Amino acid sequence: MGGIEIADVTVCTATIPTRIELLKRAVRSVENQTLKVKKHLIKLDVEKLGQPLVLDQIIKEAKTKYVAILDDDDEFLPNHIELLYKKIVETKADLVFPHFRYSNLSDAGHLERFRGLAWDNNNPHQVPVTWIAKRKTILEVGGFSGDFDVLSFEVDSQGNRIGNDFNLIKKLSKANKHITNIPEITWIYHVGHPSTLGMPIRW
């Protein structure tokens, strides 16, 4: 990594009171990174604002050039930050996303059909929120909560809910931001527990 010891990255995690035990695993995965980050900001949604708004609050609080999002129920593999940071610095991209593996293969979902698909701003597809991006770029397009109804159940042509993460990716694509990916699997998508979909009415 050319002598870089600490990445100019803030990891952002929105969490809720019912997920404290899951959060501990996420925190450990940040601590175990081969390339350390400047800060891991965690905000507890005690007011039931919903994940999109809480994430935006965290991103605004961050002081680094880049932000990396980690849901409270998922975990980074040890090389997650190192690989994504290297890619985003080298390519000067606005957002870089990796591949992932499910904690239980029997629960693999619709996102599998996008594995290995080259990014095309004219045809954006769903990308799990576990990516790294320029903080300034995310704020420029209104973040996760801008123009998004946290209680929306709008679906795409395949019948999959358009969540705040996909809504943000679409805004970035429309703004012709530079999005790219790396082929490596760098995080674990944990399933097998109740999903809130980032909605404050689901917990």
pLDDT digits (tens, 9 = 90+) for 43-101: 999 999 999 999 999 999 999 999 999 999 999 999 999 999 999 999 999 999 999 99
> How far apart are alpha carbons 114 and 160 in whole angstroms?
13
Domain over 6-202 is classified CATH 3.90.550.10: yes
Rounded Cα gap, residues 128 and 146, in angstroms: 18
Which residues in 108-143 are b (16+ Cβ under 10 Å) and which e?
eeebeeeeeeebeeeebbbbbbbbbbbbebbeebeb
pLDDT at 5: 83
CB atoms within 10 A of CB 158: 9
CA distance 185 to 15: 24
Rounded CA-CA distance 15/44 in Å is 5
In the block, which residue shows the tokens 């009415």? 201
Kindly report, residue by residue over 3-15, the tens digit of the pLDDT.
Answer: 558 999 999 999 9
Helix axes 51-61, 164-174, angle to 10 degrees: 60
